[in-house]
Structure 1
Amino acid sequence: MRDSPLATLARAYKELRLPVVPDGKGRYGRADLVIWLPGGADIVVKIDSAPNPASAQKLAFARDAGAFPLWVRFGKGDIEKIDGVMVLDVRDTVRGVCEAGA
């Protein structure tokens, strides 16, 4: 991306509020990172250490709005499959780093 002509136009936002209220919540949901690309699909990232149904709802909203949703998972628990949502599973990598440092 750094060498792309779009690099100077791209914008990254952390903890960006999304116009979706997950089930059981009283406020708008937040994305951990949103990368806005002019003329392309936005990238919406959620990072979770455990299964989180609210994250799944936020990512489905982002997908339905035309963004590229990415769920980064570390820690424990199952990884839910959601149509149109890419999951990056770094659980084994995180576990290996933690064990090497112990």
Structure 2
Amino acid sequence: MSKEAKLFGEKMKQMRETLDLSQDELAQELQISRISIANYEQGKQVPGLDAAIQIARKLGISIDQVSEEGAQLNLGNSLEKVSDSELKEKLKQSFAKAREDQG
């Protein structure tokens, strides 16, 4: 389990529970399987960038709040200083690394 996958899963579960959503409810709203939600939360699987963005939006948080890359870049208060394309590229690299670590 990669550090990125674990961090993403922990944050995702924390936010889902804060919103009082079950894994089933979140899966239905995102139109993905409950097993995928469980795997993401346990750090067994890393969602693709588009899925991660969709999850973050549904949970009402920014993608940098659920990614190691965001923590490393300290984007919380300075997101406007980072271009969308730059952020997307950094996140893509982070998720690609996490996927490599899994396989």
TM-score normalised per structure 2: 0.27
TM-score normalised per structure 1: 0.27
Say which structure is richer in helix: 2
> Could you say which structure has the greater relative contact order, defined with CA pairs below 8 angstroms and 6 or more residues apart?
2
